[in-house]
């Protein structure tokens, strides 16, 4: 019997893995460490302090941008998850729906197309809509975030649906349950962990997004990532380190919860 290939037996596997982890996480470790620096000089350790966190949390501009980012991420995650559930049901449960594979491929396009390309395309589309309708506001930024977040919410929802036993739904239908009752009593409870995981993933993607937000936002629509980008152009401050560390911590917490929720077996 042929032996199963194990990459861990390759020469240098451990060293390459350690180097990859160092390249991924060493910058984050440096960032987090210097966010607790007591001094004003960047890159010079002068003692442990919560000074920059207190300064960042009392900054009115940061508070305004953070609140806008949180509200935007919550609404965008809710809308994109709802649309992702409908799309996942259509592409996994509608066997007679022929274009379902093509639709699934189209939904996943934002994961393949460079984000800068999508940002330019959305900017062009929304500019045309502004000129045609004369309307402006946060709706365009929300629509851009929803568009970008749908594939991220769609993947865990579809994975959950594909792992569910469709015979339970068929059995309920055989017992004369209506399609709505089957969805409410069978599909939705079993799908709930996937929906929650998709919501949390979409929330993190929207909260951390900078490229699309930078292109679509207008005056007075600063999000926390775009605010940080603007501050970095003026000069690096340890206050930005503190905000970045809090964002990293929140993102890691939500992604960990999403992973744990999605591990629940249907």
Q: What is the pLDDT of residues 11-52, one digit of tens each?
A: 777 788 888 888 888 888 888 888 888 877 777 788 888 888
Tell whether 78 and 202 lie within a shared domain: yes
Average pLDDT of 229-250?
83
Tally of domains in the chain? 2
pLDDT at 91: 83
For the range 207-210, what are the long-range contacts, defined as Cβ-Cβ under 8 Å and sequence gap of 24 or more? 207/69, 207/70, 207/73, 207/247, 207/250, 207/251, 208/247, 208/251, 209/145, 209/148
What CATH number does residue 70 fall under? 1.10.3720.10
Q: Does residue 6 lie in a domain region? A: no
Closest to 75 (Cα-Cα) out of 146, 137, 140: 146
Domain shared by 150 and 246, yes or no? yes
Q: Are residues 19 and 145 in the same domain?
A: no
Domain region containing 110: 59-262
Residue 137: CB partners within 8 Å, gap ≥ 6? none
123 domain-assigned: yes
**pLDDT beyond 60 at 180:** yes
**Does residue 4 lie within any of the structural domains?**
no
Mean pLDDT lowest among 18-27, 112-121, 196-205, 231-240: 231-240
Is 37 among the domain residues?
yes
**What is the predicted pLDDT for the residue at 75?**
96
If phi > 0 it is left, if psi is from -120 to 50 it is alpha, else beta; for residue 176 that is left
Q: How far is CA 50 from the centre of its chain?
A: 29
Mean pLDDT, the chain, whole residue set: 84
Examine the domain organization and report whether 39 and 162 are in the same domain.
no
**Same-domain status, 187 and 80:** yes
**According to the model, what pLDDT value does residue 77 have?**
94
- pLDDT for 113-170, tens place per residue? 888 999 999 999 999 998 888 888 888 999 999 999 999 999 888 888 888 777 777 7
Q: Are 150 and 191 members of one domain?
A: yes
Residues 129 and 250 grouped into a single domain: yes
* C-alpha distance from residue 160 to each of 141, 184, 237 (Å): 29, 16, 43
Q: How many angstroms separate the CA atoms of 48 and 104, rounded?
A: 50
- Do 115 and 163 have their domain in common? yes
CB neighbours (10 Å) of residue 253? 12
| 151 and 30 within one domain | no
Note whether 35 and 140 are same-domain residues: no
């Amino acid at each position: 019997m042929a032996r199963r290939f194990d990459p861990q037996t390759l020469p240098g596997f451990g060293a390459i893995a350690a180097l990859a982890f160092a390249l991924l996480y060493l910058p984050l470790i440096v960032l987090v460490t210097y966010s607790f620096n007591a001094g004003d000089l960047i890159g010079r350790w002068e003692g442990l302090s919560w000074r920059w966190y207190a300064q960042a949390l009392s900054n009115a501009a940061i508070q305004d941008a953070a609140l806008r980012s949180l509200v935007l991420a919550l609404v965008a995650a809710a809308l994109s998850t709802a649309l992702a559930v409908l799309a996942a049901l259509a592409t996994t449960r509608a066997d007679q729906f022929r274009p379902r594979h093509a639709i699934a491929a189209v939904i996943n396009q934002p994961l393949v197309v460079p984000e800068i390309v999508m940002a330019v395309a959305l900017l062009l589309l929304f500019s045309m809509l502004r000129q045609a309708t004369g309307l402006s506001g946060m709706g365009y930024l929300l629509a851009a975030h929803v568009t970008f977040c749908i594939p991220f919410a769609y993947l865990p929802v579809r994975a959950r649906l594909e792992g569910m036993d469709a015979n339970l739904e068929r059995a309920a239908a055989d017992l004369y349950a209506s399609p709505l009752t089957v969805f409410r009593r069978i599909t939705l409870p079993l799908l709930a962990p996937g929906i929650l995981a998709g919501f949390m993933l979409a929330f993190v993607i929207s909260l951390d997004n900078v490229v699309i937000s930078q292109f679509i936002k207008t005056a007075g629509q600063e999000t926390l990532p775009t605010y940080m980008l603007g501050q970095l152009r003026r000069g690096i401050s340890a206050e930005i380190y503190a905000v970045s560390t809090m964002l990293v911590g929140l993102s890691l917490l939500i992604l960990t919860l999403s992973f744990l929720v999605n591990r629940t077996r249907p």
